[in-house]
Amino acid sequence: MNGNKVLGMIFANIHEEALDALTDMRTMGSVPFCSRYRLIDFPLSNMVESGITKIGVVTNANFNSLMDHVGTGKPWDLSRKNDGLFLLPPYSLNSTTMWGNRIDAIYGNMGFLDQSNQEYVLMSDCYNVMNLDFEKLFEAHENSGAAVTIVGVKGKKPADFTSVLVFDKVDENGKIIEASLDPSTDEDVFYSCNIILIKKYLLQTLITTAHSKNEVSFQRSILMNCIKSEKAYAFDATDCFVGTIDSVQSYYDISMSLLNKDTKNKLFDKDRPIYTKERDDMPTLYGPDAEITNSLVADGCEIKGTVENSILFKGVKVEAGAVVKNSILMQDTVIGEATKINYIIADKNVNIKSGVELSGAENFPVSLSKDTRI
Amino acid sequence: MTHKSDVVAMLLAGGQGSRLGVLTKSIAKPAVPYGGNYRIIDFPLSNCVNSGIYTVGVLTQYQPLVLNDYLGNGQPWDLDRINGGVHVLSPYEAIGGAEWYKGTANAIYQNITFIEKYDPKYVVILSGDHIYKMNYAKMIDFHKKNNADCTIAVLEVPWEEASRFGILATDENDKIYEFAEKPKEPKSNKASMGVYVFSWDKLRKYLTEDEANPDSSNDFGKNIIPTMLADNQRMFAFPFKGYWKDVGTIDSLWEANLDIINPNVDLDLSDKTWKIYSRNPMSPPHYIGENAKIENSSIGEGCEIDGLVDYSVVSPDVTIGTGAEVKYSVIMPGATIKDGAKVYYSIIAEDAVIEEGAQIGEIPEQLENSAEWGIAVIGSKARITKGKKIAPKDMIASGEEV
């Protein structure tokens, strides 16, 4: 199966309640991540790298920053005459409400599905930081003869999400024999990442039926039924980098895990680059008294103070005498002279004036919302 | 029908830049990496776009492959346009034979058809050899105000250096009355920056006459400007203030690179109102390891730094291993400096590999005879084997293993 037979569908808003203030003014998909990316860059880039040429981005509200980021899709080579990137907000055609749930959103975009000549649909949300080879998924789907293939990873179930689909029993071919929704367990499980490959006509049929019955849960009403009729297969992505962001804490932990060079290089696999919108900043400048260790830094920063175990986005300034430890500083944040911060997540354009001391804890990083002045 | 453009810029990018030695062996000078994220040509191109000039012809001749590839459809500079945009103009074959560009003026002459397509009033002639930020729109306004036929941008240089430049003598109204190429006894310290604005009808006339003269070397500095001056055309010098550097030699290229980290130099690349655009390699953020030490340097995205970097410009996607030292050097994209290797006062070109424990160049204080000191250059994709020492001033050719 070639990527050009697959239509991509990305849901930009799903689970955004998990990130509190980080999603106050933006979608899950436009949450900044790892110095220079937004969460939507990961599914978008993976889809494009697998040969997908048409992608719809379903969004509900708060999508100003998302529109600004994806634009015409040029950074992902999706600004095209044929196919390309399509933003699918509510109210755009005949609908008078926001998308209520996934079934509702897909139903509302039935026209988009109809007008696409791709045979399959690959759906993804934006809360997985990942680098997956979808070509392998396409191959597995074709070989197994599955009606639907669901990407899953083995590990601790994302604790802060409700209704996580867990594959309790999977046969040697990947067929899901038993599954449950949200079992209470602390053991490692094989859980769904909500990345789903399905034939387009089948999706359309299932959605139309579910919508006519006023069903509300895609997992409960559609996926569980597919599993019961033994047509659903799991695709194990445990070997790839997949980080599920289900809370501010896991956002912080997954970010920090990238300070390990091997982990970082697993996510930023040179064979499957992650694309993003560029800003044409100059390279980062380090001053004469700068001290920096174990950190990830984007372009456009000016570092005159000390930075340790931290992740710095574009245009961050750390003034002389300032000490930044174990923190994530988003675009254009300024840390004033002789300021000390530890375990802080500072959103874009935060300005911490000179001499302040601020500290969170490893299991409780403190978030500062966009444009905060201290 | 082509949409009319008031101004067309023609960027001379065909020169070999032979004084850059191994660095321009397989790429044209304007394509040489500079300042970490850039190539030299990003400066005139970004200046054009920032000045509102969206029709740019880039004249290529020598080793155009990397340059053509880099320019692509001009998208990084917003020059992928329906009207105008960036056009690569290489020599071509016509009835009567094919001809290389014989000189800078001939290169423009051979592309008169390209320029005429836009029916411009003014043509800006630029070169791909200089690092500077300049608003050409102000220069064109100055040209219009003076009702000039030709305007040449000038920079006041120290008197003792004036004999290295093309020097323009002007009256109190900035009108040029004399032009002298590298004069022994300069009458002024106003040096030509190689940036010209011409009224197109006048330039076309002089290009055509120059082409008909078999004795001419078809060069702007040697032929067109002196002839126009002799004909009493209205020629003015546009005074420019700010950073401007010719990067035609190894020493000046090295110096201009380190200027981006020198706080005393007036070259601000962080100015959001005058961005220098470039093609981005799409690399992840740079990673600074546990044992790294970085002082007074610039680091590009995609780098992995575990060693010491002091007063150096490190371009994107460079790896510097544990215990390695990089001082007063320019490391171009994709180079690898392995564990324990030392790089002092050097330029390491793209994708070169310096193996463990090798040493490139030397710190001047370590040399008994200071005459031996100079910048060492390692060509692109060259490999310096384990423990090998490369002396100051040495040049290792591209792709060579030493």
Using an 8 Å Cβ cutoff, are B235 and B150 in contact? yes
What are phi and psi for residue A222, nearest 5 degrees? -105, -55
Taking an 8 Å cut-off on Cβ atoms, the answer to whether B299 and A290 are in contact is no
Select the residue of B276, B295, B298 nearest A284 (Cβ to Cβ): B298
Using an 8 Å Cβ cutoff, are B371 and B389 in contact? no
Question: Which pLDDT score is estimated for B63?
Answer: 83
Percent pLDDT > 70 in chain A is 99
- Interchain contact B262–A (C-beta under 8 A): no
- Interchain contact B298–A (C-beta under 8 A): yes
Most distant CA atoms of chain B, gap in Å: 68
Question: How high does pLDDT run on average in chain A?
Answer: 93
Taking an 8 Å cut-off on Cβ atoms, the answer to whether B294 and A282 are in contact is no
Copy the structure tokens of residue B16.
């070999």
- Interchain contact B291–A (C-beta under 8 A): yes
User: How far is B147 from B143, CA to CA, in rounded Å?
Assistant: 6
Copy the structure tokens of residue B190.
């106003």
User: How far is B83 from B73, CA to CA, in rounded Å?
Assistant: 13
Please give the helix or strand (H or E) that residue B58 lies within, else none. strand B55-59
- Interchain contact B63–A (C-beta under 8 A): no
Interface mutation vs chain B, best among A41, A258, A299, A311, most B CBs within 10 Å: A299
CA distance, residue B258 to nearest chain A CA (Å):
12
- Interchain contact B270–A (C-beta under 8 A): yes
Q: Which amino acid is at B19?
A: R
Bridge partner list, B170:
B176
Residue holding tokens 């710095």? A312
Taking an 8 Å cut-off on Cβ atoms, the answer to whether A296 and B286 are in contact is yes
- Interchain contact A302–B (C-beta under 8 A): yes
Instruction: Give the ipTM.
Output: 0.92
pLDDT exceeds 90 at position A188: yes
- Picking from A12, A161, A175, A32, the residue whose alpha carbon sits closest to that of residue A99 is A12
- Interchain contact B75–A (C-beta under 8 A): yes
Cα–Cα distances in Å, from B400 out to B3, B22, B374? 49, 11, 21
Confidence of residue A24 (pLDDT cuts 50, 70, 90): confident
Query: A294-312 in b/e burial notation, b at 16+ Cβ within 10 A?
Result: bbbbbbbbbbbbbbbbbbb
User: How far is B237 from B277, CA to CA, in rounded Å?
Assistant: 28
CA distance, residue A181 to nearest chain B CA (Å):
36
Taking an 8 Å cut-off on Cβ atoms, the answer to whether A283 and B36 are in contact is yes
- Interchain contact A199–B (C-beta under 8 A): no
pLDDT exceeds 70 at position B1: no
Cα–Cα distances in Å, from A166 out to A18, A207, A215, A224, B83? 20, 22, 21, 10, 56
Question: Which pLDDT score is estimated for A50?
Answer: 96
pLDDT in tens, A137-185: 999 999 999 999 999 999 999 988 888 999 999 999 999 999 999 888 8
Instruction: Please state the pTM of the whole predicted model.
Output: 0.93
Select the residue of A35, A275, A286 nearest B297 (Cβ to Cβ): A286
Question: Which pLDDT score is estimated for A354?
Answer: 84
Taking an 8 Å cut-off on Cβ atoms, the answer to whether B299 and A283 are in contact is yes
User: How far is A121 from A147, CA to CA, in rounded Å?
Assistant: 12
What are phi and psi for residue B313, nearest 5 degrees? -110, 115
Within 8 A of B286 by CB-CB distance, chain A residues are: 284, 296-298
Taking an 8 Å cut-off on Cβ atoms, the answer to whether B270 and A302 are in contact is yes
Q: How many CB contacts within 8 angstroms connect chain A with chain B?
A: 105
Helix ranges, B215-271 (H): 225-230, 250-258
Using an 8 Å Cβ cutoff, are B163 and B182 in contact? yes
What are phi and psi for residue A161, nearest 5 degrees? -95, 145
pLDDT exceeds 80 at position B17: no
Within 8 A of A261 by CB-CB distance, chain B residues are: 287, 289, 304
Residue holding tokens 């044992």? B291
- Picking from B397, B358, B361, B392, the residue whose alpha carbon sits closest to that of residue B380 is B397
- Picking from B299, B306, B269, the residue whose alpha carbon sits closest to that of residue B284 is B299
pLDDT in tens, A102-126: 999 999 999 999 999 999 999 999 9
- Interchain contact A204–B (C-beta under 8 A): no
Distance of CA A247 to the CA centre of its chain: 13
CA distance, residue A129 to nearest chain B CA (Å):
14
What string of H, E and C letters represents the secondary structure of chain A?
CCHHHEEEEEECCCCHHHHHHHHCCCCHHHCEECCCEECCHHHHHHHHHCCCCEEEEECCCCCHHHHHHHCCCHHHCCCCCCCEEEEECCCCCCCCCCCCCHHHHHHHCHHHHHHCCCCEEEEEECCEEEECCHHHHHHHHHHHCCCEEEEEEEEECCCCCCCCEEEEEECCCCEEEEEEECCCCCCEEEEEEEEEEEEHHHHHHHHHHHHHCCCCCHHHHHHHHHHHCCCEEEEECCCCEEEECCCHHHHHHHHHHCCCHHHHHHHCCCCCCCCCCCCCCCCEEECCCCEEECEEECCCCEECCEEECCEECCCCEECCCCEEECCEECCCCEECCCCEEECEEECCCCEECCCCEEECECCECEEECCCCEC
CA distance, residue B350 to nearest chain A CA (Å):
17
Using an 8 Å Cβ cutoff, are B10 and B120 in contact? no
Copy the structure tokens of residue B267.
């070259």
- Interchain contact A286–B (C-beta under 8 A): yes
- Picking from B38, B50, B44, the residue whose alpha carbon sits closest to that of residue B12 is B44
Q: Kindly state the average pLDDT of the residues A357-368.
A: 92
- Picking from B35, B61, B29, B77, the residue whose alpha carbon sits closest to that of residue B258 is B35
pLDDT in tens, B117-167: 999 999 999 999 999 999 999 999 999 999 999 999 999 999 988 988 899
Looking from the CA of A27 toward its CB, the CA atoms found within 13 Å total 28
Distance of CA B113 to the CA centre of its chain: 26
CA distance, residue A288 to nearest chain B CA (Å):
5
Handedness of CA A285, A265, A38, A309 (dihedral sign): negative
Coil/strand/helix, residue B230: helix
Confidence of residue B360 (pLDDT cuts 50, 70, 90): very high
- Interchain contact A296–B (C-beta under 8 A): yes
Q: Which amino acid is at A113?
A: L
Question: How high does pLDDT run on average in chain B?
Answer: 93
- Interchain contact A324–B (C-beta under 8 A): no
Question: Which pLDDT score is estimated for A294?
Answer: 97
Taking an 8 Å cut-off on Cβ atoms, the answer to whether B285 and A311 are in contact is yes
pLDDT in tens, B308-327: 999 999 999 999 999 999 99
Helix ranges, B263-398 (H): none
Question: Which pLDDT score is estimated for A11?
Answer: 95
In chain B, which residue's Cα lies nearest the Cα of A279?
B277
Within 8 A of A280 by CB-CB distance, chain B residues are: 76, 275-278, 280
Residue holding tokens 């899950």? A28
Within 8 A of A288 by CB-CB distance, chain B residues are: 295-296
For the purposes of burial, counting CB atoms within 10 Å of the CB of B28, is it exposed (0-12), middle (13-18) or buried (19 or more)? buried
Taking an 8 Å cut-off on Cβ atoms, the answer to whether A296 and B292 are in contact is no
Taking an 8 Å cut-off on Cβ atoms, the answer to whether A296 and B278 are in contact is no
Using an 8 Å Cβ cutoff, are B372 and B391 in contact? yes
pLDDT in tens, A210-253: 999 999 899 999 999 999 988 999 999 999 999 999 999 999 99
- Who wins on pLDDT, B3 or B44? B44
pLDDT in tens, B50-103: 999 999 999 998 888 889 999 999 999 999 998 899 999 988 877 777 778 888
Helices A41-49 + A134-144 axis angle, to 10: 60
Q: Kindly state the average pLDDT of the residues B11-25.
A: 87
Interface mutation vs chain B, best among A80, A272, A284, most B CBs within 10 Å: A284
Within 8 A of B290 by CB-CB distance, chain A residues are: 293-294
Select the residue of A283, A289, A293 nearest B300 (Cβ to Cβ): A283
pLDDT exceeds 90 at position A94: no
Query: A26-40 in b/e burial notation, b at 16+ Cβ within 10 A?
Result: bbbbbbbbbbbbbbb
User: How far is A357 from A339, CA to CA, in rounded Å?
Assistant: 6
CB-based contacts of A47: which residues, under 8 Å, 6+ apart? A3, A8, A10, A55, A122, A124, A134
CA distance, residue B283 to nearest chain A CA (Å):
8
pLDDT exceeds 90 at position B225: yes
CA distance, residue B38 to nearest chain A CA (Å):
9
Copy the structure tokens of residue A291.
């001290």
Cα–Cα distances in Å, from B334 out to B21, B285, B356? 20, 14, 17
User: How far is B167 from B154, CA to CA, in rounded Å?
Assistant: 9
Bridge partner list, B295:
B310
For the purposes of burial, counting CB atoms within 10 Å of the CB of B192, is it exposed (0-12), middle (13-18) or buried (19 or more)? buried
Within 8 A of A311 by CB-CB distance, chain B residues are: 285
Within 8 A of A289 by CB-CB distance, chain B residues are: 295
Q: Provide long-range contacts, Cβ within 8 A and 24+ apart, for A253-260.
A: A254/A129, A255/A33, A255/A34, A255/A311, A255/A328, A256/A309, A256/A311, A256/A326, A258/A34, A258/A296, A258/A311, A259/A294, A259/A295, A259/A296, A259/A309, A259/A311, A259/B287
